[in-house]
Chains A and B, each alone.
Chain A
Amino acid sequence: MRANATTRVVGTPVPRKEGAEKLHGRARYVDDIEREGMWYGTTVRSTIPRGLIRSIAFDESFDWREFVVVTAKDIPGKNHIQLIIADQPCLADTQVNHCDEAIVLLAHPDKHKLRAAAAAVEIDYEPLPAVLSIEESELRDVIVWGENNVFKSFLLQKGNVDEVWDQAAHIVEGEYRTGAQEHLYIENNGVIAEYSHEEGVTVWGSLQCPFYVHRSLLAVFALREDKVRVIQTETGGAFGGKEDFPSILASHAALLALKSGHVVKMVFDRMEDLAATPKRHPSRIRHRTAVDEDGKLLAIEIDLGTDGGAYSTLSSTVLSRATLHACGPYVCPNVRIRSHAWATNTVPYGAFRGFGAPQSIFAVERHMDEIAARLGMDPVELRRRNFLREGDTTATEQLMREPVMMNDLMDRILEESSFYARKMRFAQENPTSAVKRGIGIAAFFHGAGFTGSGERYLNSLAGIDVTADGQVRVLVSSTEFGQGTNTILPQIAAEALLVEYADVGMAPADTRVVPNSGPTVASRTAMVVGRLVERASLQLVGMLRSEGLLAAEYSRDEFFAACERYRVLKGELVSLCRYEAPPNVFWDDQEYRGEAYPAFAWSIHVAQVAVDMTTYSTEVEEYWAIQEVGRVLNPVLAGGQIEGGVAQGVGYALYEKVLLENGRMANNQMTNYIMPTAADVPAIHVYFAEQPFAYGGYGAKGIGELPHDGPAPAILNAIRNATGLACNAIPLLPEDMLAKLSEVAAMQKDVIR
């Protein structure tokens, strides 16, 4: 089988393509780029969560000479950001719907003058009642979006849950909550924009999806496609946080460039980035589960709500992924999931690694431990009895066509972590110790690629070319922001072309140079785009052969000689391929039934925690993560993805709390929004099981988002094991555990009375 074939380049730890530039400090991030005569821009933002804009006044005592001011009136095209629904304005015009919404833009040649200028703009509001939580939104006393505050809802049904409740041995209910989470990429958002009549708009920026930005700029500037150009600069982390927001910032900088006639740079400082850009959707998820005496799942009913913020942005697709992952990697004949994305007057929540799945996996995996506790059953055993297997169907009745390795993964992770031995030891030691230790598990899957028909709609185009100087280039709009796009795609091309890794580079992520291979999101790059690059490479070899330039077997030198002859004959050597869906993939968007994802990656995490019962702080002491992600294209990069995702998950579970005060982020500094440091992360043991996927690039499935799904439930299950406390909300900071203990103590007191 092709995907199993022995490979020379794929599967080896070749160094990161742009690694040396980064290590020298020579890689050029957007803020490192200076242009002659460049101006700088800033944003005046709303200070209330909802209200009408009565007036915008400019302090007359301030020297406004040399400043350029842009408001909604200056927008030549449509005042909206083009995403799924065009409900989000580029600049608030008559009304603001969240704090830190952009209203006025300012530019000046001296960036140090911008802060004072922004403070000299006075905006007068007529406040309107605001909705600041899922609970307030679903009450619908105040309607802040559409007719009913609902961005999107789904009803997913399999079998009939209502016929089951009466016969069930046990019915277990639980409510689970997850908080917002900030991406905290170390490079803040930033762009540089230029406008000229001849060239139109050109934007350089820190971003994930050049063609998303391109599409938004077309609408805002009412320009033809060839008059907008977007170029990604080296990007210092993204994690989903630079999926949709750069479309806004790029539009702003380009508006200032248009009006000022200068190149304009806009780079956020940390406080602005934290306050004004999207975060992970908070969620509230209620489970009601029927099980039989043996722990077999009979019925699952889930009510899933997310807080979407003030505009729809990506909330519908995040909700979709949350819904499709809500039952976890388990088989159940009867399922009903109702889910809603609610509008509130906060900064719109957006894409963040996992895209809804970490929320629903937290709920289902925490809930599985509560079911096990009710049954008096080993949580491992409960999971084993319900894992999806080959031939089973998921909640959308997607048939598992390939072997599911969950039991094998479980065997291995239990052994590697000495799970039961540790559990027994902690049970012996805990009663006499102020530090309680525990071990917890989370099992999960993560769908790779766009949901349902998404990849068909995207209809991605990708390829390779060979330049006049004999360099093979990968032509994709898929971007590098640390995950390894620049490395794995050349590995794939080099493998397929029978050349060396060093022979293949990346064409610049420039919308004028590369085709639209889709956004760099949804763990789709290795699987979907990688496959396109593989096909395009094989196609290029076919092109050379059909011209009689290349024999069945050839050397590297013969390949490049053939390329040169082809170029002389035809002028250029380009091979492009368009997405083709794997066979048997059907998805019904109305009924939400069918193949939700082309492939799933599977994983089990184990966490060991130590809870200090004096300070209520929890330390994750050791961590194990095993996964089946199809073919591993580069073991060093793949391992780094898992470890990085686990660390972010540790922060999600225990550290990272977004504090909102009247809809505004109050802790928008790294000083008080705390992520795990080098001193906090546990030792992380990573294991891969490989089962190549026939329709992924050299057998790869998705990997990037998967590791973020596991840590929060594994850690809170470990805390349950250590302390007996069923904590069902994250983040769980020491003060939250104290509150939980007080709550439990109060309940026990009531019982005694």
Chain B
Amino acid sequence: MNAQWSTVQLTVNGLRHTVQAPPMKRLLDVLREDLRLTGVKEGCGEGECGSCSVLMNGELVNSCLVPVLQAAGATIQTVEGLAPQGELSLLQKAFLECGGAQCGICTPGMLMAATQLLERTPNPTINEIREGLAGNLCRCTGFIRIFESVVAAAATKAAAVRKEESHAR
């Protein structure tokens, strides 16, 4: 522990953490090293590839570009928070079934981008999906099956909502 380090509180995947770190330490490193959330990946370290994407107060950010001090008090969600009970979420299942993940290294970031997209646009058009995922690079899939995964997840969700509504009536 160094005198110049900062004490930062943040809530990650619903758990409150207090971290002591250099103020400019990247949120990426805090998540990976201090909190051992290694689902968050580093691909480029300059905000181009999106592998380190997390949701910070509901906004998709590249955690390699966020100094931890900027995340003080923030609520963070990482891939580890998508299926806290252990069972894959609708979105994750869709990726599994549609072939949206190959080598898997971009997948955690891609899932976070898709999560934000579907929260804001529950039934996205193909162009909205392309735009929503344009900050996350995948070198394996050519993106096509990722698009299909997002479409499938949206459709499953919509069907579930309809079912719920009809039950409510």
**Size range of the chain A interface in the assembly:** 35 or more
Q: Which of A26, A188, A647, A681 contacts B39 (CB 8 A)?
A: A26
B111: A residues at CB distance < 8 A = 23
Q: Which of A97-154 contact B (CB under 8 A)?
A: none
**A23 lies within 8 A of B139 (CB):** no
A186: B residues at CB distance < 8 A = 41, 43, 49, 51, 103, 105-106, 137-139
Most buried by B among A18, A25, A28, A681: A25
B78 at the interface (CB under 8 A from A): yes
**A25 lies within 8 A of B46 (CB):** no
Provide the bound-state CA to CA distance between A671 and B80, in Å. Answer: 28
**B141 lies within 8 A of A675 (CB):** no
A24 at the interface (CB under 8 A from B): yes
A515 at the interface (CB under 8 A from B): no
Q: Which of B39, B40, B130 contacts A678 (CB 8 A)?
A: B130
B131 at the interface (CB under 8 A from A): yes
Per-residue interface assignment for chain A, residues 243 to 258, with 1 indicating a CB less than 8 Å from any chain B CB and 0 otherwise: 0000000000000000
B146 at the interface (CB under 8 A from A): yes
Separation in Å of the A113 CB from the closest CB of chain B? Answer: 13
Provide the bound-state CA to CA distance between A632 and B147, in Å. Answer: 23
A624 at the interface (CB under 8 A from B): no
Q: Which of A18, A677, A681 contacts B104 (CB 8 A)?
A: A18
**B92 lies within 8 A of A677 (CB):** no
A24-B39, A270-B44 known; A679-B134 Cβ under 8 A:
yes
A237 at the interface (CB under 8 A from B): yes
Q: Which of A617-675 contact B (CB under 8 A)?
A: 636-637, 639-640, 643-648, 669-671, 675
A187-B41, A636-B99, A679-B131 known; A22-B137 Cβ under 8 A:
no
A20-B96, A25-B80, A644-B142 known; A236-B103 Cβ under 8 A:
yes
Per-residue interface assignment for chain B, residues 133 to 150, with 1 indicating a CB less than 8 Å from any chain A CB and 0 otherwise: 111111111111111000
B20 at the interface (CB under 8 A from A): no
**B140 lies within 8 A of A678 (CB):** no
Number of interface residues of B (CB under 8 A): 54
A23-B107, A26-B39, A643-B141 known; A670-B44 Cβ under 8 A:
yes
A344: B residues at CB distance < 8 A = none
Provide the bound-state CA to CA distance between A671 and B46, in Å. Answer: 8
B101 at the interface (CB under 8 A from A): yes
**A482 lies within 8 A of B39 (CB):** no
Q: Which of B113-139 contact A (CB under 8 A)?
A: 129-131, 133-139
Q: Which of A434-478 contact B (CB under 8 A)?
A: none
**A669 lies within 8 A of B44 (CB):** yes
**A22 lies within 8 A of B107 (CB):** yes
A19-B101, A671-B46, A677-B134 known; A640-B140 Cβ under 8 A:
yes
A643-B145, A644-B141, A670-B46 known; A481-B103 Cβ under 8 A:
yes
B155 at the interface (CB under 8 A from A): no
B35: A residues at CB distance < 8 A = none
**B101 lies within 8 A of A23 (CB):** yes
A670: B residues at CB distance < 8 A = 43-44, 46, 48-49, 137
Q: Which residues of A contact B (CB under 8 A)?
A: 13, 15-16, 18-29, 31-32, 34, 183-188, 234-239, 269-270, 481-484, 636-637, 639-640, 643-648, 669-671, 675, 677-679, 681, 683-684
Given contacts A15-B97, A25-B80, A185-B103, 18 further A-B contacts (CB under 8 A): A16-B96, A20-B88, A22-B104, A23-B92, A27-B104, A29-B38, A32-B32, A186-B51, A186-B139, A187-B43, A187-B105, A236-B105, A269-B42, A639-B99, A640-B99, A644-B141, A644-B142, A647-B142
